[in-house]
Structure 1
């Protein structure tokens, strides 16, 4: 029984740390995976808001071949990626995407560690985006 209590206590600590509960009152981190439809709705709703950023973490060649309109490009594979992310405003809201959702999830992990608090991951990336019939610029 003692092991169950230890696991419960550890789980509570992890939840508190991830939600900002152990950071002295800082804003909690919100990370959500969005379906293509949810991401499209978010872009429609917030697209003109300067504090809303669409972040493409694919390579420059992938970005040039086609990207979600309005997206900025920071290549996750570039050695300077973490530094480039550090230059962004952690108080803004970010919709992060890649080709399939793997790099964007990893990029979001880096962003969380750098203090970003409002992050969305496009599930399935541009593969799902185009399969749903949405265009790339």
Structure 2
């Protein structure tokens, strides 16, 4: 009987600990979207961020996009004064850097971000 009480106490402590840790996990999550889904977000006033280099951005970009290189994404978004629930669409050349930027923003507490992948696919699918 004593062993069962001890086990129940340990299980109760583990349950409390696990429940407490959940509060430290960000509620949003980074996600990849199709170009069509990205354009729907853009049509609903999402901010479009090109995370390529300034040189790549100057060679051509989505109209209205803001250029913030992926290594500077969290600081760059902070400078813009965006809220954690603002809608943000990220893209780069292939989707790799925008995925990294998406993860960084999610870890920083942003909950409505999306990786739209590569610029060429986005441009080709524009409605």
Distance 1:74 1:100 in 2: 16
Corresponding residue SS for 1:64: helix
Match of 1:34 in 2: 33
The 3-state SS of whatever aligns with 1:31 is coil
CA-to-aligned-CA distance 1:45-96 (integer Å, 9 cap, x gap): x13xxxx21111011111111111111110124xx44422333422211101
Q: In the alignment, which of 111, 114, 128 is matched to residue 121 of structure 2?
A: 128
Structure number with the bigger relative contact order (C-alpha 8 A, sep ≥ 6) is: 2
Could you list the runs of 5+ residues in structure 1 that have no partner in the other structure?
A: 1-12
Q: Structure 2: any 5+ residue segments left out of the alignment?
A: 1-17
* TM-score, length-scaled by structure 1: 0.65
Deviation at 1:31, TM superposition (A): 2.8
Give the number of the structure whose alpha-carbon radius of gyration is greater: 2
Determine the structure 2 residue equivalent to 1:75.
Answer: 69
| Equivalent-residue separation in structure 1 for 2:74 and 2:85 (angstroms) | 17
Quick check: which one's helix share is greater? Answer: 2
Structure 2 residue 28 is matched with structure 1 residue 22: no
Count residues with an aligned counterpart: 108
- Kindly indicate whether the alpha-carbon contact (under 8 Å) linking 2:30 and 2:103 is maintained by their aligned counterparts in 1: no
TM-score by length of 2: 0.69
- C-alpha displacement of 1:115: 0.9
State the Cα RMSD in Å. Answer: 2.9
What residue number does 2:92 align with?
98
